[in-house]
């Protein structure tokens, strides 16, 4: 009976070819050929992504450290724009304070009202469906059209809806858009009216995902409706609430159309005495009215840092409450 012998060099060559963690050139080329069509289909999106997002962001970050007016070449000034913005610019400080007051009021009221509407109209009846549709309509309506309607409501002329209604009960007309103390409340009302419907739809989805067995067990134990809401509904809705709060917060910090359209005709872009000046309208004013594009870029990146920090704080607080 013949025996087959294998030379040590052949064993070494075979073990080298099948060694784990190493791929042969043929295998790499085969996988590349398989993935190539996918990469080719991604190229148009990648080109648009780089051209319309990555490149503008990189340019904006560069301009934030320059003195640039859009006509002359930018000149590098280091952190002077940020130093001036955070320590010397009183209008930026006012815009920052107004933004935080507006965000706190708008996000709190929008989230609370959205949750209340979701609890009230979470059913599948025609009444609930119609009411959900009515409350959701502002979320899909043109922001410009909505701002123009609110401007008509609070205008000081005789055809203003708010002054017409209060005139029916003998109240003197109010200078709604020219009264600094009413600017933030008007903007908050607009934000709550336009945003509670979107939050309501998200909360309805979260409510419908809670197992009904939890409520049945609570009712058998004698829990009241308020106890069921406090100990079952709210804890189960923590992830949904976090999402609604953070998206509402980001949207509120970026408010622009309401301020620009409703209050620009009254005085400056921020209303009378800058009572409605927010971060994005101030960015627009410095960049496209005064053509201080480098300074406006510094405002934009400061806004990004503010939103990022506040969002991280919100996430940490939510995570801490979830662990209690």
Query: Which pLDDT value is given to residue 113?
Result: 95
- pLDDT tens digits for 41-85? 989 999 999 999 999 999 999 999 999 988 889 999 999 999 999
178, 180, 181, 186: CA torsion to nearest 10 = 60
pLDDT higher than 90, residue 306: yes
Taking residue 248's Cβ as centre, other Cβ atoms within 10 Å add up to 24
Mean pLDDT of the 272-293 span: 90
**First-to-final CA distance of the chain:** 77
pLDDT higher than 70, residue 23: no
190 versus 14: which is more confidently predicted?
Answer: 190
CA-based R_g, the chain, Å: 29
Query: Which pLDDT value is given to residue 318?
Result: 79
The answer to whether the Cα torsion of 258, 259, 263, 269 is positive or negative is negative
Query: Which pLDDT value is given to residue 265?
Result: 65
Query: Which pLDDT value is given to residue 266?
Result: 60
Most confident of the ranges 118-122, 171-175, 260-264: 118-122
Residue 271 pairs in a beta bridge with 268
Mean pLDDT of the 177-189 span: 91
Query: Which pLDDT value is given to residue 2?
Result: 47
- pLDDT tens digits for 119-158? 999 988 999 999 999 999 998 888 888 899 999 999 887 7
How much is the mean pLDDT over the chain? 87
Query: Which pLDDT value is given to residue 11?
Result: 46
Pairwise CA distance, residues 48 & 283, whole Å: 25
């Amino acid at each position: 009976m013949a025996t087959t012998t294998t030379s040590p060099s052949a064993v070494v060559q075979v073990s080298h070819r099948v060694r784990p963690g190493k791929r042969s050139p043929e295998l790499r080329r085969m996988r590349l050929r398989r993935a190539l069509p996918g990469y080719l289909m991604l190229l148009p999106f990648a080109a648009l992504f780089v051209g319309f997002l990555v490149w503008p962001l990189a340019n904006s970050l560069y301009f934030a450290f320059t003195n640039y007016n859009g006509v002359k070449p930018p000149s590098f000034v280091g952190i002077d724009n940020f130093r001036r913005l955070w320590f010397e610019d009183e209008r930026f400080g006012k815009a920052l304070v107004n933004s935080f007051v507006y965000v706190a009021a708008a996000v709190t009221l929008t989230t609370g009202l959205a949750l209340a509407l979701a609890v009230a109209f979470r059913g599948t009846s025609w009444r609930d469906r119609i009411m959900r549709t009515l409350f959701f309509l502002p979320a899909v309506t043109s922001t410009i059209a909505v701002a123009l309607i609110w401007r008509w409501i609070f205008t000081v002329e005789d055809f203003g809806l708010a002054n017409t209604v209060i005139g029916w009960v003998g109240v003197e007309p109010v200078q709604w858009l020219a009264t600094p103390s009413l600017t933030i409340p008007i903007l908050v009302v607009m934000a709550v009216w336009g945003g509670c419907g979107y939050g309501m739809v998200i909360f309805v989805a979260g409510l419908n995902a809670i197992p009904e067995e939890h409520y049945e067990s609570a009712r058998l134990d004698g829990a009241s409706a308020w106890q069921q809401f406090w100990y079952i509904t709210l804890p189960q809705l923590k992830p949904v609430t976090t999402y609604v709060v953070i998206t509402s917060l980001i949207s509120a910090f970026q408010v622009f159309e309401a301020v620009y359209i409703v209050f620009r005709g009254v005085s400056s872009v921020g209303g009378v005495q800058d009572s409605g000046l927010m971060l994005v309208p101030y960015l627009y004013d410095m960049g496209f009215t005064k053509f201080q594009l480098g300074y406006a870029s510094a405002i934009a990146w400061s806004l990004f840092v503010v939103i990022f920090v506040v969002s991280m704080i919100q996430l940490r607080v939510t995570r801490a409450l979830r662990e209690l």
